[in-house]
Amino acid sequence: MDSVASALERLDALAATDRVSTLARAFQAAGHELALVGGPVRDAFLGRAVNDLDFTSSASPDEILRIVVPLAEAHWDVGRAFGTIAARIDGETVEITTYRSDVYDGETRKPEVEFGDSLEGDLVRRDFTVNAMALRLPERVLVDPSGGVEHLLSRTLATPGAAVDSFRDDPLRMMRAARFTSQLGFTVADDVREAMTERASTLSIVSIERVNDELSKLLKTDDPAPGVRLLVETGIAELVLPELPAMILERDEHHHHKDVYEHSLTVLRQAIDYERERHPGAAPDLILRLAALLHDIGKPATRRLEPGGVVTFHHHDAVGAKLAKKRLKALRFDNDTISAVYRLIELHLRFFGYTEGGWTDSAVRRYVRDAGDQLERLHMLTRADVTTRNRRKADQLAFAYDDLETRIAELREQEELDSLRPDLDGVQIQAVLGIGPSREVGEAYRFLLELRTEEGPLGEDEATRRLREWWSAR
């Protein structure tokens, strides 16, 4: 964290920008209070880029609209029921929310929306003290009723009031604590950790969609591992991703120094490293990160002690893919994400057969065909799955995968590998065989695709000859 003086200078500069000062003057002229609040104020102290501008005001949603519409290029009131109005001013989106004091009733999945009457009252009902600071405008006075600056200096995540009360107001704040642990690199206060453990079960009253959103935000941070650990250690993961704590007691036969849980966190971190290395500047890849975290969740169910004390996890890839699909469906992830994660987990062991003996070109084609549009993610996941401390073994695996990627690139140039299709399409198959649309056309298509995979491009004439032979033999 930068010095307090530097942070105040940044906040002062932000308040002096045209869009902020214009808003401040407009609300003041209308007789309403306005303050920059939450994340922008926190990030100014942390020296982080301020991308989103959030404001809070004494004005009601209707009054906010009346003030903002003449200033805005566009506005949205989809959050009006919750007191939030969004607008685009000078090309930037801002959100302005009426002072709030809403809480959960402890039984339903939605908070009771209640508007407050003071800035201080709004701040003390917020989730954490580092998010409960505001810059009153246009005066540019810092308002920090709960000691947020001190907690920023000590890198501690604390609640404005008693943590147990805060999590009773909104249980999702427990997951936010995990996310901020990773996002900000903070440590939760002791009472926060205790309250998370005590009230973990109450997360069940929060909608699955909100849980999904918070979990996704956690996994998109630069280092999700600390937040994941906090979820597991406090028992929250038992509700959200019970497959994670289930891995703790299992031992990985390839990595005796770590259990499967620790191995999975290492794979997650290494996958993120590959993501940044291969796609610098790209948005966080949630699909890759989910696959990395969950790739070994099939191990507890497939654990077997073989003669001599050897531990095996045969078919944990297939079992894990099914478990991941079931869990992600329960968490309401979209079908594309579920399908992609399933395929990555299902295929994450395929490469290790490459190191046991040279693959034929047809085996390489199958690898590419089965991975489909997940091939690049499979490259990163498979490389990240190597966590051995044996440097020689790690180098051998890395060299082997380098070789596989080189062969894929060569075949891609020669054969249009990314669009692997038979030499004849469905219309041509029907013409050759003299049949109409039917199940037999599909069977013929699959036969030709298998030939294409095994032998590479055949050409139309050879494919026609082989198709007729196959048809006659039937």
* Assigned CATH class of 1-148: alpha beta
Residue 472 has a pLDDT of 87
Residue 110 has a pLDDT of 59
Dihedral of alpha carbons 206, 212, 215, 221, sign: negative
CB 152 within 8 A of CB 47: no
Environment class of 289 (CB within 10 Å of its CB; exposed 0-12, middle 13-18, buried 19+): buried
pLDDT tens digits in sequence order for the chain, 474 residues long: 557 888 888 888 888 888 899 999 999 999 999 999 999 999 999 988 887 899 999 999 999 999 999 999 999 987 888 889 999 998 889 999 999 875 555 555 555 667 878 999 999 999 999 999 999 999 999 999 999 999 999 999 999 999 999 999 899 999 999 999 999 999 999 999 999 999 999 999 999 999 999 999 999 999 999 999 999 999 999 999 999 999 986 554 544 435 899 999 999 999 999 999 999 999 999 999 999 999 999 999 998 877 777 778 889 999 999 999 999 999 999 999 999 999 999 999 998 877 666 788 888 888 988 998 999 999 999 999 998 888 888 888 888 889 889 888 888 777 655 567 788 888 888 888 888 888 888 888 888 888 887 788 888 888 889 889 888 887
The tokens for 398 are 């890395």
Dihedral of alpha carbons 186, 192, 194, 197, sign: negative
Q: What is the spatial distance between Cα 456 and Cα 354, in angstroms, rounded to a whole number?
A: 19
Q: Which residues pair with 304 in a beta bridge?
A: 312
Main-chain dihedrals φ then ψ at residue 427, nearest 5 degrees: -65, -40
Cα 232 to chain centroid distance, Å, stands at 17
Please identify which residue in the block is written with the tokens 């004439």. Answer: 461
Q: What is the spatial distance between Cα 304 and Cα 326, in angstroms, rounded to a whole number?
A: 23
Q: Which residues pair with 141 in a beta bridge?
A: 136
Does the 155-240 domain belong in CATH 1.10.110.30?
yes
* Domain extent listing, the chain: 1-148, 155-240, 256-419, 426-473
DSSP 266-326: HHHHHHHHHHHHHSTTPPP-HHHHHHHHHTTTTHHHH-EE-TTS-EE-TTHHHHHHHHHHH
The SS3 call for residue 225 is helix
DSSP 89-101: ETTEEEEEEE-B-
CB 29 within 8 A of CB 22: no
CATH code of the region 256-419: 1.10.3210
Q: What is the spatial distance between Cα 158 and Cα 169, in angstroms, rounded to a whole number?
A: 15
